[in-house]
Amino acid sequence: MALNMKKRKRSDENDPRVKKRLFSWRMFLLMLAMVLVLSAGNVLIMETFLNMEVFPLLASMGVGSYWVAMALIVASVIYLVSCAKFDKPMRRLSRAMRKVTEGDFTVSVQPYHAPNKYDDLDIMFVDFNRMVQELGSIETMKDDFIAIVSHEIKTPLAVIKSYATALERGDLDEATAHEYAKTIATASENLSTLVSNILKLNKLENQEIVPSAKPYDLTLQLSECALALEEQWEAKGIDFDAQLEERVMVAADESMMEIVFNNLIANAIKFTEPGGRIVLRQERDGRDVLVRVSDTGCGMSEETQRHIFDKFYQGDTSHAGEGNGLGLALVRRVLEISGGSISVASKPGEGAEFTVRLRAMEESNA
């Protein structure tokens, strides 16, 4: 067992692809030869200017031995320092990189010096450790994404299968069968929306969708988005207050910005209790225009606000069945590639306010 451990350690340290060490014995001998040549030159100079011929043979041999010893010492020091300062650190980094290529994202390389004495190699190690951490985070996010998507797809499929099986038996009354069919249709719509949002978000993140910015009337778009959802907020008896300017022009992709405002207004309706209030406000802030969507819903904690734009995150689980947690992730990504921004302010039990910032166009340029 000890023999196997020794073989394994040796194989970990020595990469079979490496055919030549950076600092080998051949390098050492080359440095020794160079120092000897320099030493011989020194002896010739002394012989020329100090008339070495009058020195006894023993003295000449002593001087020669001294310079040979000095050459050996200098070459050894240069070789050892080079190995310690460059060869060994690079081999450590090479072993760590090999582990990363094998899928180990827990590896790290400890810098040789304290932070206030970092050299170039130390900085390389620090950057390598940061890179490995980022790769590990991406790998975790990918696994989480696959797991969440699988769960989100599995839920509506289970509903469809269950209710379809009940309908297939044919022993239900007409009202129950109609209700089951409606449930299947809703689950199918949710599944279709989920898949559509995943595809949209994937294309946006991979920059397969390039926004086509053109001037358009933002006020008109906000009015149309609010009216498109009128049936929903009226069904809950929500007081919808739209405070819009007469005309504000912006240069953006109108169809993509529609995704932003439809999601924000729909979210406000979803989280506002019946009889509550939603305010859609548009105002100027210097050269920018701000669009605020506020509600009197359940509000959010600080922890929820930190993750509200993450994929599949749903802070209020009581409304989890009404969405898939991709809407706000889409909103943020659309604004990022459109040159806009979004922020949220909220307190638990006091509602929430989302603020979208866009660059407004001057009327002369509209």
The lowest-confidence range among 80-89, 203-212, 220-229, 303-312 is 203-212
Is 144 a residue whose pLDDT tops 80?
no
Rounded to whole angstroms, the Cα distance separating 80 from 76 reads 6
Is 355 a residue whose pLDDT tops 90?
yes
Instruction: Name the DSSP letter for residue 83.
Output: I
Predicted confidence band of residue 93 (pLDDT cuts 50, 70, 90): confident
Q: Assess whether 286 and 235 both reside in one domain.
A: yes
Host domain of residue 245: 214-359
Q: In this structure, what CATH number is given to the domain that contains residue 339?
A: 3.30.565.10
Rounded to whole angstroms, the Cα distance separating 333 from 205 reads 7
Residue 2 pLDDT = 43
Residue 206 pLDDT = 61
**Share above pLDDT 70 across residues of the chain, in percent, rounded to a whole number:** 65
Q: Assess whether 98 and 196 both reside in one domain.
A: no
Is 316 a residue whose pLDDT tops 80?
no
Number of domains present in the structure of the chain: 3
Q: Is residue 9 part of a domain?
A: no
Which of 332, 334, 314 has its CA nearest to residue 323? 314
Is 348 a residue whose pLDDT tops 50?
yes
Q: Is residue 3 part of a domain?
A: no
Predicted confidence band of residue 320 (pLDDT cuts 50, 70, 90): very low
Q: Assess whether 296 and 220 both reside in one domain.
A: yes
Q: Structure pTM?
A: 0.51
Q: What backbone phi and psi angles, to 5 degrees, belong to 277?
A: -135, 140
Q: Is residue 292 part of a domain?
A: yes
Please give the structure tokens belonging to residue 94.
């090479």
Predicted confidence band of residue 293 (pLDDT cuts 50, 70, 90): very high
Residue 110 pLDDT = 82
The lowest-confidence range among 137-146, 201-210, 316-325 is 316-325
Q: Is residue 185 part of a domain?
A: yes
Across the chain, mean pLDDT equals: 76
Q: Assess whether 230 and 300 both reside in one domain.
A: yes
Helix then strand count (H, E) for the chain reads 11, 7
The alpha carbon torsion through 250, 254, 257, 258 (nearest 10 deg) reads 130
Q: Assess whether 46 and 152 both reside in one domain.
A: no
Predicted confidence band of residue 356 (pLDDT cuts 50, 70, 90): very high
